[in-house]
């Protein structure tokens, strides 16, 4: 158990609405990551954080923003959701060069 929870676990929303996904960790890890998983693409990095208020872009960051106001929480926001953002989103933390993943959030944008 990586001590990671994600909320919500499932969400259905409409195009154009804002959506925020939450990742919460209990082990005080410095690094946190957001990935999206799509068939045929594996997992792709959206944004990552290397400390409170320290974030950077990943491979597929367009349309996403993140915030980390405290060590335990890393938020992913879709400012105006689009159908192309329908995906499964995973959060991960880093411990000794290894990333440990949360259970995921399935997001459907109609």
Partner 1 sequence: QQQVKQSPQSLIVQKGGISIINCAYENTAFDYFPWYQQFPGKGPALLIAIRPDVSEKKEGRFTISFNKSAKQFSLHIMDSQPGDSATYFCAASMSGATNKLIFGTGTLLAVQP
Q: Give me the residues that bind partner 1 (CB under 8 A), please.
A: 31, 33, 40-45, 48, 50, 56, 58-59, 90, 94, 97-104
CB-side neighbour CA atoms (13 Å) of 16: 0
Q: Least distance (Å) from partner 1 to the CB of residue 17?
A: 25
Complex with partner 1: residue 6 or 85, whichever CB lies closer:
6
Complex with partner 1: residue 56 or 79, whichever CB lies closer:
56
Q: What is the DSSP string of 48-83?
A: EEEETTEEEE-TT-TTEEEEEEETTEEEEEESS--G
Give the span between the Cα atoms of 49 and 57, in whole angstroms: 9
Q: Least distance (Å) from partner 1 to the CB of residue 103?
A: 5
Residues 6+ apart with CB under 8 A from 41: none
Complex with partner 1: residue 58 or 63, whichever CB lies closer:
58
Q: Least distance (Å) from partner 1 to the CB of residue 46?
A: 11
């Amino acid at each position: 158990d990586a001590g990671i929870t994600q909320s919500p676990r499932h969400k259905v929303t409409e195009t154009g609405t804002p959506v925020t996904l939450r990742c919460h960790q209990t082990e005080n890890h410095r690094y946190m990551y957001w990935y999206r998983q799509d068939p045929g693409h594996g997992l792709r990095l959206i944004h990552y954080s290397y400390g409170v208020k320290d974030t950077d872009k990943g491979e597929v960051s367009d349309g996403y923003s993140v915030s980390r106001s405290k060590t335990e929480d890393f938020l992913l926001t879709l400012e105006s959701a689009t159908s192309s953002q329908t995906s499964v989103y995973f959060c991960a933390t880093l411990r000794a060069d290894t990333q440990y993943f949360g259970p995921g959030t399935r997001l459907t944008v109609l």
